[in-house]
Amino acid sequence: MADLKLLALDSDDLAVISAHTQDAVVRVGDMGYAQRDNRFALLMNRYDWEAGTVRNKGVRKRAALHFDRVLSVASAGIDTNAREGVLELLAISFTETDAPAGIVELTFAGGGTVRLEVEVLEARLQDLGAAWAAKAQPQHSL
């Protein structure tokens, strides 16, 4: 499958990015806020759900996700000093507060969250080309 390159300008677009990044593995040190540029970015190893099957454990791809027009960033339940710590991204959501401004929330397994206050929703996800066989397909208990 071709590398992804997605743009989100509304909640529906962001839901597509969220689906493609579900179960991505993110190192704490690979997330950062460039306050001068009003940009929050993270590198991840995303699980390519389209490539995975029951017999095939699937593929992980290196990807970058960034949000522009970010006014502030806050986190909870994440030790930001543990630069080598690894997080599993579960979902990304957007809640409009004062249109078009709002809050983007990245939710991680174990209860960690990153909240971005944004002027307007503008996010980009792009695969960076590197891909490898996944050790296992992510599983979720219902």
Helices (H), the chain: 11-21
- Whether 141 is covered by a domain: the verdict is no
Type of residue numbered 22: Q
- Whether 142 is covered by a domain: the verdict is no
Helix (H) or strand (E) holding 43: strand 39-48
- Whether 140 is covered by a domain: the verdict is no
- Whether 97 is covered by a domain: the verdict is yes
Domain holding 113, by residue range, is: 5-128
Which residues have a Cβ under 8 Å from the Cβ of 134 and sit 6 or more positions away?
47, 52, 57, 58, 59, 60
Which residues have a Cβ under 8 Å from the Cβ of 122 and sit 6 or more positions away?
7, 8, 9, 67, 68, 69
pLDDT of residue 11: 96
- Whether 134 is covered by a domain: the verdict is no
- Whether 137 is covered by a domain: the verdict is no
Do residues 7 and 112 make contact, with C-beta atoms less than 8 angstroms apart?
no
Tally of domains within the chain: 1
Identify the segments of the chain with pLDDT beneath 50. Answer: 54
* DSSP reduced 3-state for 79: coil
pLDDT of residue 54: 46
- For the question of whether the overall pTM of this predicted structure is more than 0.75, the answer is yes
pLDDT of residue 93: 98
- Whether 135 is covered by a domain: the verdict is no
